Structure 1
Amino acid sequence: ALKGNRAACISVGWVKCLFPLFTTEEKDWNSSKPEASDVYRYKMDYPCIGTCVIINNKNFHSKTGMGTRNGTDADAANVAKTFKNLGYKVKTLNDQTVAEMKRLLLDASKEDHKNNASFVCVMLSHGDKGVIYGTDGCEKFDTLVQCFKGKHCKGLVGKPKLFFIQACRGSALDEGVIETDSEGDEQTSEKIPVEADFLYAYSTAPGYYSWRNTSNGSWFIQKLCEMLERYSGKLDLMQIMTRVSHGVSRQFESSCNLPGFSNKKQIPCIVSMLTKDFYFPV
């Protein structure tokens, strides 16, 4: 029994000896960590916040079978005002063909972005599963934005590239459902993924219709501009987009003369490959 007690005492002694050692090491490690803002927040101390390109497609060739997008001019004006107030150089292009959209985005990707903190593109058009319409046809969304990825656009590597897409992604209608309540400054070089630092903010979920008011513009753009104006500089972009999704999903419901199109809902779809928090400097 004595031998067993002696072993227990030795074991307890080891615990007493090691515990302060572990505590000291943890404290030293914490004190050596860089500030969170250095690692998890995009640098914004560039001469310019960046360019905002707006593609506003309203009128379509008859061969596409697509109707006029009444209300899109209100969206374009709202977006232009919002991003101009945030400090962006805004360029609005109306009624772009597929070839013109591709050329526009390619030219934008080839611009000198070394003095820019970010890049924004807003697409206002018809769409379907995986495609965006120009006035004369459609193109895969991935093809349109490929020129901004990796080595194709070195000036924006490591910087946020934000795409906001107001377009249908299919023809399904969201019926909705009843909710029940329940209780550092040194320059360094490192390899990063070519898909890093992108944000794709779609007005609706894959496969679904995206709603637009012919007078006030689309639900998504209305709420996006409202939340950007209210929270920029206070919240990071992903927090703002959560509020956009909340507003679109809770504050809008369709009212339409077409049978089966009333009382429908919508939820935006935010796809983020951002690697840091993004705060608009205001």
Structure 2
Amino acid sequence: MDSSFEYSREHKHIGRCLIINNETFDGQPHLQRCGTEEDGNKLRVTFKVLGFSVRMEKDLTVADMRRVLREESEEDHSEMSCFVCVLLSHGEQGLLMGADGAHISIRSLASTLTSHNCRTLQGKPKLFFIQACRGQQMDSGVEADSVEPEELEEFAGVSEVPEEDFLCCHSTSSGYFSWRNQVLGSAFISSLCDVLARHRRQEITKILTRVSCHVARSFHSKTGQKDSHGKKQMPCIISRLTREFYLQK
């Protein structure tokens, strides 16, 4: 393979991994995200094994989410091959909830790492993994050939990726619910960590395609309630990467 089609891995370190894990929300105990601590533990172990320097932050307000990403943008990433950010919280279409109950756009968080704001990451892959709802629809797994006009809003997700060399992998499709077990954690993060561990030498988009396949084929909700039992989930990959990227060669 011509190396010009690959992002450089000739740096001293693979990169930094920032994990923002919002579990509790001020004055709103009904919003507690039970099981997300298990997700955080899996992510910490997985990315450390891959060689990343891992930073874990919990229960951040919107202002604090901005602050920690700004701090990362001010770090010197010259000897890093990439940057990874994992965001775990409640969400809506294009938005994430802070621990203060306020919302912030995913685009504004990702834009903190653009070439203008972080020159030492210029030309390097910035990977965002997001475990959060993107709406309240539930996927019954029914196949359909027709596309309703409102479903074309899926392409609006591209606006969350501010420039080239960014990739955003959502746990679910635009407008849909994202499932999480209160003990075992989420289907998406569990699959992501498992596939990263077993197929770490594959190209990143191939890895994420396998994650999507595993979640789509293997997961179905087990609520025991008529309106929410047996629902499916389909992750969504939005990529503006310009080369292939390998976490391990």
Task: Give SS of 1:62's match.
Answer: coil
Instruction: Compute the displacement of 1:78 (Å).
Output: 0.3
What is the TM-score when the length of structure 1 is the normalising length? 0.79
Instruction: Compute the displacement of 1:120 (Å).
Output: 0.3
1:158 equivalent in structure 2 = 123
Instruction: Compute the displacement of 1:177 (Å).
Output: 2.1
2:11 is the alignment partner of 1:46: yes
Q: 1:272 aligns with which of 236, 239, 242?
A: 239
1:263 equivalent in structure 2 = 230
Number of paired residues?
232
Are the equivalent residues in 2 in contact too, given 1:219–1:252 (CA < 8 A)?
Answer: yes
Structure 2: 5+ residue stretches without partners: 145-161
Higher relative contact order (CA 8 A, sep 6+): 2
Q: 1:103 aligns with which of 39, 44, 67?
A: 67
| Superposed CA offset, 1:176-231 (max 9, x none) | 1269xxxxxxxxxxxxxx71110100000010000011111100000000000010
Matched letter for residue 260 of structure 1: D
1:215 equivalent in structure 2 = 183
2:37 is the alignment partner of 1:73: yes
Instruction: Compute the displacement of 1:152 (Å).
Output: 1.0
Instruction: Compute the displacement of 1:280 (Å).
Output: 1.1
Are the equivalent residues in 2 in contact too, given 1:173–1:209 (CA < 8 A)?
Answer: yes
State the identity %. Answer: 43
Greater helix share, structure number: 1
2:224 is the alignment partner of 1:224: no
Task: Give SS of 1:229's match.
Answer: helix
Instruction: Compute the displacement of 1:66 (Å).
Output: 5.8
Are the equivalent residues in 2 in contact too, given 1:66–1:126 (CA < 8 A)?
Answer: no
Q: 2:80 aligns with which of 77, 100, 116?
A: 116
1:126 equivalent in structure 2 = 90
Task: Give SS of 1:270's match.
Answer: strand
Counterpart-to-counterpart distance in 2, 1:37 and 1:134: 43
Instruction: Compute the displacement of 1:39 (Å).
Output: 1.0
- Superposed, 1:222-261 pairs within 5 Å as 222-233=190-201, 235-261=202-228
What is the TM-score when the length of structure 2 is the normalising length? 0.89
2:48 equivalent in structure 1 = 84
| Superposed CA offset, 1:154-174 (max 9, x none) | 111110100000000010000
Q: 1:61 to 1:227 in 2, by over 3 A?
A: same
- Superposed, 1:135-214 pairs within 5 Å as 135-136=99-100, 137-177=102-142, 195-214=163-182
| Rg (Cα) greater in structure | 1
After TM superposition, which residue ranges in structure 1, 4 or more long, deviate above 4 angstroms? none
Instruction: Compute the displacement of 1:37 (Å).
Output: 3.0
Q: CA RMSD of the aligned region, Å? A: 1.7
Instruction: Compute the displacement of 1:259 (Å).
Output: 4.0
Q: 1:98 to 1:66 in 2, by over 3 A?
A: farther
Counterpart-to-counterpart distance in 2, 1:216 and 1:104: 27
Q: 1:176 to 1:59 in 2, by over 3 A?
A: same
